[in-house]
Amino acid sequence: MSTQAELIAAVLNAPEDHHEAILLAAIGGKRAAKMITKKEAASIIGCSQRTVERYSLIGEFSTIKLSPKRSRFLLEEVLNFTKHGMKRG
């Protein structure tokens, strides 16, 4: 593909089941990080949704803000938190 417009057209015209492979190729083969809701994070950690918010505010894991009222958390970071506990210092 020589132009960005041609790439976009190719993605839009490709069968839906090919979209993920095309996008992975475009970003160098790295799979996008899995995002989870506050409720899912709380279930994994075994705490309340408010506690998930507090952990995020103090930097235990990242928050991806989708809108002023909606946010997501990276599954990998939440799992690492459950495995290794709170950061020190």
Is residue 14 a part of any domain in this protein?
A: yes
To the question of pTM greater than 0.75 for the whole model, the response is no
CA distance 78 to 59: 12
The pLDDT score that the predictor gives to residue 45 is 95
22 and 58 both lie in a single domain: no
The pLDDT score that the predictor gives to residue 41 is 95
26 and 39 both lie in a single domain: no
CA dihedral angle for residue 70, residue 56, residue 77, residue 39, rounded to 10 degrees: -50
Is residue 20 a part of any domain in this protein?
A: yes
The pLDDT score that the predictor gives to residue 78 is 93
Is residue 17 a part of any domain in this protein?
A: yes
Is residue 89 a part of any domain in this protein?
A: no
21 and 49 both lie in a single domain: no
The pLDDT score that the predictor gives to residue 68 is 87
The pLDDT score that the predictor gives to residue 52 is 95
pLDDT digits 0-9 by tens, 38-83: 999 999 999 999 999 999 999 998 888 888 888 999 998 999 999 8
49 and 63 both lie in a single domain: yes
Cβ atoms of 63 and 70 within 8 Å: the answer is no
Q: Domain count of the chain? A: 2
